[in-house]
Amino acid sequence: MKDGLPIGYVSERTGLAVSAIRHYESEGLVKAWRNGGGQRRFERSDIRRLSFVMIAQKLGFSIAEIRTQLEVLPKGRTPTAGDWRRISEHFRAQLEARIDALTRLRDDLDGCIGCGCLSLEQCRLHNPGDRLAAQGPGPRSGPGRVVTDVQ
């Protein structure tokens, strides 16, 4: 299809609803153009881009993070395996960091079951490294206030 791919075909190939493709277009993840009849047309490489978006979202990456990575792909040519590998390496490093953080959290949880210390100074889950002390005296934790940078 040298005149571009219609949105229905892209939907069929990716399994995405047409509305989802329009949403991703509005987010700047793919860019369509209009043919003489005013219909959206996509590059064949947009099928792979949209598939990448779906996978990256399943891995927990935000639209903003995905957009940042897609912006490094070449314009005017289909991305090569090397182009995709560079993005994969970036995401792999982030996933490894998340896995390490979750492993530490799991291991700390094993030690905390039944601890009952009730000490925010000592609790490695709710106040790792006593980070809350840097915020000053008084209550720094509770509903809606969670230490999120577990190390």
Higher pLDDT, 93 or 119: 93
Helix axes 18-26, 45-58, angle to 10 degrees: 90
Give how far Cα 109 sits from Cα of 14, 51, 101, Å: 40, 36, 12
What's the CA gap between 95 and 61, in Å, rounded?
10
pLDDT band at 129 (very low <50, low <70, confident <90, very high): low
Give how far Cα 113 sits from Cα of 107, 108, 116, 125, 126, Å: 11, 9, 8, 11, 13
pLDDT band at 119 (very low <50, low <70, confident <90, very high): low
pLDDT band at 6 (very low <50, low <70, confident <90, very high): very high
pLDDT digits (tens, 9 = 90+) for 62-115: 999 999 998 888 876 778 889 888 888 989 999 999 999 888 877 776 666 555
SS3 57: helix
